[in-house]
Amino acid sequence: MDTQAGSRSGRGRRRPMRAVHTAAVLHDSPTPLARMVGRGARMTVKPLLRMAPVDVRTIRRIQRFSEVVNRGASEDIAVEVCEIGGVPGEVMTPGDGPTTGLHLLYLHGGGFFTGSVHSYRSMLEEIVRATGGTIYAIDYRQLPDAGIAESVQDAIAAYAGVLDRAPDASKVVVAGDSAGGYLTMKVAELATRRGLPAPAALIAFSPLLSLEPDRQDKNVMRVDKVREAVLPIARVAALRRLWLPEDGAPIEGFADPLHASAYIHSPTQLVAVEDEFLRPEVEALALLLDDKGVEVDVHLWRGQLHAFPIMAGHLPDADLAIELAAEFALTHIGEPPAVEVEDLDAQPETLEGEMA
């Protein structure tokens, strides 16, 4: 990848943020709360994840802990518990009914072994409020009971289910974070392969775009050191053995969405944190899509945690990320919000990059 990069002075920062994608939007002023959350994660969550064995017993313990944060829906949100394309899930709308024609399938993250509709409740409700649309969320199969291949099949089945339920296929959007970002891109790829209508837009927060993000010998540009506050990169190899068991089913299409850009045609918003180890491949995909004429909207955030938008409803920075995503989704279904969402501290970075 050959890149020519400009730079700008950070406001009182020791160093400017840098990017490798044309017109990436750089959000370089985290709120004090975001900084505090990041420091807390570095001191607690990351050490625990670094020491915990990567095995079925640990996964079960994490899943039990995740269940503790489950809660019911807020009074202003209407919830239908149902199957979406044969996959267990929920459909959420504003309590007084949808105000836009958006139908959005959200695929949660969690490394393919944790997370659920219920543990993502706060974020999902903020998406409902920000978009005024109909939001679908599923509990796709996960480790240790199923591998990534089964997660992918559930995701594309749910997408087909949303297409069946939505009055207008041109208003269906797919979004996800981390492992759910992987599934988001797989949905886009498999929709093309299967002849289904392409999503009106794709939104991915800190997406996992390959099953080997820890490898350093890839043709991707790295402009910052990894200082990710949550995910220990050294644990990826152990997780990969669980993601891809020797006797597991093959993943339909490409195992790595990073290789599937030829099958992705939808306008795409990609969000990453400045120093997370998944970021280089996010920008690599952005360049690949941009090179083939796909509209790409890249947002890079300083001082945040991996997949920080999941804290929407509790963290102002996450709320802003959701509002920007909602604006992107609504614009691409032809119903842009009346007031443009703006981060006054963000600036575009005018750069030129291309894949070698």
Closest by Cα among 283, 248, 254 to 355: 283
CA distance 209 to 199: 18
For the stretch 212-221, pLDDT in tens is 876 665 555 5
Say what the pLDDT of residue 22 is: 63
Using DSSP, how many helices (H) and how many strands (E) does the chain show?
9, 12
In this structure, are residues 187 and 155 in contact, taking their beta carbons and an 8 Å threshold?
yes
Rounded to whole angstroms, the Cα distance separating 125 from 181 reads: 19
pLDDT tens for each residue of 227-260: 655 666 767 777 888 888 888 899 999 999 999 9
**Closest by Cα among 316, 276, 318, 272 to 297:** 272
Q: What residues act catalytically?
A: 178
Q: Residue 352: what pLDDT?
A: 45
Strand-pairing partners, residue 104, are 135, 173
Mean per-residue pLDDT, 176-190: 98
Q: What pTM was estimated for this model as a whole?
A: 0.88
Walk me through the domains of the chain, giving residue ranges and CATH numbers: 2-8+15-354 (3.40.50.1820)
- Measured over all CA atoms, what is the biggest interatomic distance in the chain, rounded to whole angstroms? 54
State yes or no: pLDDT of 148 exceeds 80. yes
C-alpha distances (whole Å) from 168 to each of 134, 138, 265 are 12, 21, 18
DSSP letter string, 14-29? SS----SSTTEEEE--
- Type and span of the H or E element at 205: strand 201-205
User: For residues 78 and 275, which has the higher predicted lDDT (pLDDT)?
Assistant: 78
Q: What per-residue confidence (pLDDT) applies to 167?
A: 97
Torsion (CA) 176, 116, 236, 261 in degrees, nearest 10: -20
- Residue in 185, 124, 175 with CA at minimum distance from that of residue 152: 185
pLDDT band for position 20 (cuts 50, 70, 90): low
Q: Report in angstroms the alpha-carbon separations of 306 from 11, 300, 310.
A: 23, 11, 9
| 3-class secondary structure, 71 | coil
Query: Do residues 289 and 8 lie in contact, with contact meaning Cβ atoms separated by under 8 Å?
Result: no
